[in-house]
Structure 1
Amino acid sequence: MKHILLSGSTGFVGQNLIQYFQETTLGTIQPLNLREPLAGNLPSADAVIHLAGKAHDTGNTSKPQEYFDINYGLTKELFDRFLDSNIQDFIYFSSVKAVADTVEGKLTEESNPQPKTAYGQSKLKAEEYLLSKELPEGKRLFILRPCMIHGPGNKGNLNLLYKVVKFGIPYPLGAFHNRRSFLSIENLLFILNRILTNQSIPGGVYNLADDEALSTIEVIRIIAEASKTKAKIWTLSSDLITKLAKVGDKIHLPLNSERLKKLTESYEVSNEKIKAALAIIALPVNVREGLTITIKSFSNS
């Protein structure tokens, strides 16, 4: 039985992790509220899972310093407390965006980090601080870089695509051809379970993604099948769509440049390192199964 200290317990991943612990015999979770200053030593536990952070603001309304105050500052403070404690494991949720905003080929752990946004830069700065500290004997540090995580209850671009398909709105971005990696919450929880229950898994930096990447058009078709409707895909001029997205930037339409980029760019992430560490050939849930579970949850909600 593991006892885990969890920051970010109210977020999407945090809520799923709490439910997972309740449904299994893995152990117990004690939420950490980092909105208040940490006082004294950390409570006794087996591991700290640090999820809390400032997410990427697609509307670009946040001040850059806010990302560094939260994503770097809070992580530094919590990790320093961990080093002074008897807790064995520190699991930090970073992001693939700590490495790159756009990817050519596949993103690996050996890719040279060059984040362009304050969000990615703040995540990378936190990573660099964690890796700069010498770990006492018996402690492990995991820096996990997930790509887009999805699952029941998840909001965001998948939910937007679902609404487009469900209400019979034609998807106008058929001219864009891409490959994107996803991460189902089921596979994420599987990975965390293995890390927490197997002390032979070495700490380090690990990308997290499902085994296969998909195009957005493939995702549209999966959504249509899961929601028992017909996919309508239009192949409009990519130049026209780009101009419309720039208009959306100015008058706050659902389609803006940031969302267009997320929907149409390629972003493939290799998960070979984490699979090798876990001594597995494939993750338990394939990308199509995971997306179908997520889409059906939209239909039921």
Structure 2
Amino acid sequence: MKVFLTGITGFVGRAASERLLQAGHQVRGALRDANVPLAKGVDPVVFDDLATHDWAPSLEGQSVVLHCAARVHVMSEQSVDPLSEFRKVNVDGTLNLARHAADMGVKRFVFISSIKVNGEGTEPGRPYSADDAPAPVDPYGVSKWEAEQGLRDLAARTGMEVVIIRPVLVYGPGVKANFLNMMRWLDKGIPLPFGSIHNSRSLVALDNLVDLLVTTIHHPAAANQAFLVSDGEDLSTSNLLRRMAKALGRPARLLAVPCAILSFTANLLGQRSVAQRLCGSLQVDISKTRSLLQWAPPLSVDEALKIVAVHYVESKK
């Protein structure tokens, strides 16, 4: 199968390109910088602006578009109009690519959206499902929801199949941001005040997400559906840290500080969102993904954490 892949230099896109090539698919990858190395066998397409580029020549003969490129959630947003900036890439860019794909006869368009389309958090034991009414809160989530709506409308008008994937937090070899910081703290043996957090959060290993993406490019039942994806096991922040420490071969030095104190302190420091992610719950129900696609996460949480830990240790050498 010929797959046109955007975001090929990113965390998910790079892993997806390697898996697709291993599975025998032909991969044409869109990237901004022609000097960035790609997996052997990728046919590169250099572009400047996702929203204005003429994609038609690059999409000729392609069977599927796997759209990983996005303006991702920004922790320290600097723009005075964040929603406008997100829309330029996540809405205008996505729909420009999708319209060209439909015009060129591409059969299926697989779009990586975000769990933020569903909302920012759940009550314990009441997970989001794929067919819940969307309730995005921040500009990133709103832009992804608007892109989903535009893609569904395009599918209805053109007959091009659309598949929407809403991942939770993705972790894997080379993960950055807070996940990497937590690994560093555990590796150094720093005591952490997160021993009394009894929330429930869904995560997804990079390998599990990519496995689902490869499944959805060809599975008949995926057409015009939205799917949630996770590892199938929810963890508290405390449990995640303990199991991550075990994967690293380090003790987890966790102090039993109540969430109320953590949240109060974070609010004083202007880090309310950080406290929400540490103490709040966000669970997803992947039963639709399992049943409709006959899919299950190939890696357990502990297997995936071990892969991340090994990569982290090797990268320090």
**TM-score of the aligned structures, taking structure 2 as reference length:** 0.86
Q: 1:170 & 1:16 partners in 2: Cα distance?
A: 33
1:229-257 Cα distance to aligned partner (Å, 9 max, x none): 111111124343223323443xxxxxx32
Deviation digits for residues 41-84 of structure 1 (CA, Å, limit 9, x no counterpart): 23321111111111111223332311112111111211111221
Counterpart pick for 2:91 among 72, 81, 88? 72
Q: Which residue of 2 aligns with 1:53?
A: 70
Secondary structure of the residue that 2:162 maps to in structure 1? strand
- The 3 A distance-change label for structure 1 pair 74 and 241 is same
Answer with 51-60 or 142-151: which moved more.
51-60
Partner-residue secondary structure (3-state), 2:217? helix
Equivalent positions of 1:116-195 (< 5 A) are 116-133=137-154, 134-137=156-159, 139-195=160-216
Using the alignment, how far apart are the partners of 1:239 and 1:184 within structure 2? 30
Contact 1:96 1:145 in 2 (8 A): yes
Distance 1:3 1:296, change over 3 A: same
- Residue aligning to 1:260: 275
CA apart distance, 1:162: 0.7
**What code does the residue aligned with 2:303 have?**
E
Alignment of 1:29-108 (within 5 A): 29-31=28-30, 33=32, 35-36=48-49, 37-39=52-54, 41=56, 42-62=59-79, 63-104=82-123, 105-108=126-129
1:263-278 to structure 2, matched below 5 A, reads 263-278=278-293
8 A Cα contact 2:5 2:27, kept in partner: no
Q: Which residue of 1 aligns with 2:303?
A: 289
Instruction: Show the counterpart of 1:16.
Output: 15
Amino acid at match of 2:28: I
Letter in structure 2 aligned against 1:168: G
**TM-score after normalising by structure 1:** 0.90
In 1, Cα distance between equivalents of 2:259 and 2:298? 37
User: Quick check: 2:170–2:204 contact (8 Å CA) kept in 1?
Assistant: yes
1:174·1:217 contact (CA, 8 Å) conserved in 2?
Answer: yes
Q: How many Å apart are 1:155 and its aligned residue?
A: 0.9
Alpha-carbon separation, structure 1, partners of 2:101 and 2:169: 28
Matching residue's letter, 1:244: T
How far did 1:293 drift?
A: 1.5
1:210–1:271 CA contact under 8 A, matched in 2: no
Name the CA distance, whole Å, in 2 between partners of 1:168 and 1:70: 40
Q: Which amino acid aligns with 1:14?
A: G
- Given that 1:3 and 1:30 are in contact with CA atoms closer than 8 Å, whether structure 2 keeps it comes out as no
The alpha-carbon distance between structure 1 residues 198 and 115, as it changes in their structure 2 partners (threshold 3 A), is closer
Q: CA deviation at 1:32?
A: 5.2
State percent identity of aligned pairs: 26
Residue 101 of structure 1, CA deviation: 0.9
Letter matched to residue 20 of structure 2: F
State the alpha-carbon separation in 2 of the partners of residues 77 and 298 from structure 1: 38
In the TM superposition, what whole-angstrom CA distance separates every residue of 1:74-133 from its partner, at most 9, and x where no partner exists?
Answer: 112111112211111100110010110111211101222111101111111111111123
Q: What do you get for the CA RMSD once the two structures are aligned?
A: 1.9
Distance of 1:283 and 1:242 partners within structure 2:
33
Report the residue type matching 1:172 in the other structure: P
